[in-house]
Structure 1
Amino acid sequence: MKAKSYLFLTVLLLFSASKLYAQVQPVDLNLENYKYPFPVRSVTINSQKQELQMVYMDVKPDKPNGKVVMLLHGKNFNGAYWRQTAESLTKAGYRVIIPDQIGFGKFSKPLNYQYSFQDLAKNTREVLDGLNITKVSIVGHSMGGMLATRFTLMYPDRVEKFILVNPIGLEDYKLKVPYQTLDAAYQKELKQTYESLKKYQQANYYDGQWKPAYEEWLTPLAGWTLNKDYPVIAWNSALTADMIMTQPVVYEFDKIKAPALLIIGQRDRTAIGKDMAPEHLKATMGNYPELGKQTQAKIANSKLVPLAGVGHLPHIEAFEQFIKPLVDFLNE
């Protein structure tokens, strides 16, 4: 009887998963058929002999306090996942700028581009220049934390406050992970599916947990794998992974001068390339409780807010725990 019950449950779970995957529809190369939470604007960026369309959202408050916050997304996401954060910040009086970076979201996906955090920072500065914004508080999550760091180092006079939310790059991954060629990384990306993407996020972001709220931010990634142009997405993903691996920011945190806040989910164990690292090193990677402390010690005038039981996406998984310290810090 128990065996039959187990078999029935297994079939039911597989059926539910396949039904959900069937509901995931292909999304366009630049997410033209994927609606963002706020009006989308674009600016032409001339970079590396190409004209590229950089997309961003400019969310204005009803009662402005004269301050601007810029939100930078992570590698497996786009600017849309800042929706709830932007809504709360605008209620608090802040104007919110949310750019998509090149190769992500609604931004152009070039086949021939040399990715660097310096170039992404320059592109991002051009958006602010076009809006006549001279000062921002900058919030970077995951890969966006590495970009926020590079932006702040390149343009210190533009940054009022510097906030990292479970950023990657608090350690130098290439010291523990064997080098992976772009061709190998590309082949790996080509194999991505809804199931593999969800499995990765469950294991690395949510500690095996899964809620309907998480599905919303998986859908664009999974939809891309069903698009005929997915090889273009996969190639850009391989290029950005190489950028993360080969362009560490961990050695420069002591040069940050802006007041800083680190919001760190303590359950997070995300580390780029961990699956390729030798077994004896895997357990030493992505130790966010320690990495948060080490990074705070490097940045003068910084605060650390550890969030117990929270993983890689505090602003999705535990919004109330995330937003209060952020707004309090911005209001100081």
Structure 2
Amino acid sequence: MKKWNYFLLAVFIYLLAIYGIGVVESQSEASNIKGFTDALWYAIVTLTTVGYGDSYPVTPVGKVISLTLVIGSIGVLGYLIGEITNKFNLYMEKKKTGFWGTNFENHYVIIGYNDFGRQVASQIVATGHKLAFLVNSKEKLDLIKDVFHFDNCFAMFADYNNDEAYDKINLTKSKAVFLNFDEDTDTLVYVLNLKKKYPNVDVVVTCKNSELKETFVNAGIKYVVSQTTVASRLVASYIFEPEVASYTEDLITTSRTENDFDMQQYKINTSGMYFQKSFMDIFLGLKKEFNAIAIGIVSHGKVIKNPPSDFVLTENDYVILISNGVSKKHLEKAFGVKEGK
């Protein structure tokens, strides 16, 4: 506040000097400054360093006051430029750190960042979905921006205890949140706090210690992935069913080309072409129209593998299928939704 008081005082003195020049110079017939308006014009030209030369003091007193005005102009101009530069730099710094937030909706959120999180994020971005990161390190923020410099990606630096940060990344409007911390204990503590504040948010976590999986489930986490369990199953499959394991690994990787295949899920809604169709009709239609294979459904939150042929899918059910990367955009048009939940 004192800073602005000093600035206002300087402006008052500056205007007083302009007024003084106008009064002194108007008393001289040889002067081209005939009043306050001319003096103000002279001051503005001097302040902006334009220097037209059409107005200038001729009296000794006017010249003395003008000297003060010129020196003061340097200070005022320097202060204004400095303030504008500081404000601009502050704005750009806030923009860089995501301070202004994002308007993303129906997006995915990753909290925490490491190499594993980078791989997860790459798969999500490849599907065309919007993704928001929240990290508590500027170093990690820079790493994210180096890799995910896309319009559908947003990254924010903030303290994890800052509730405003979750509003700025639209956490409650996201589809799912992935907690990506290095230690299981950090993840568990964070989960307890997060679910307390946002009980309706879908949270996905990974745990290195498979024995903690039940603990996470009891904490209200529906999707808990044990890294060791998944890895051990895949390794075991490679040992005695290598081709099956290779195929499985491909199916859980986002497809991008005609020769890439992956498993996808699409939501049934009233505007899609498969609303209130039987599973067999959907199976045959997908194979004929898109060379895609329906392998299961999700109904009322329950996954049904190889459902009955006459099972009718209604609004908010999901179809799980296998398709290549090229067919995705056509499938999204047919279902009327993007891939994913």
Greater relative CO (CA pairs within 8 A, separation 6+): 1
Normalised by the length of structure 2, the TM-score is 0.30
- Is the radius of gyration larger for structure 1 or structure 2? 2
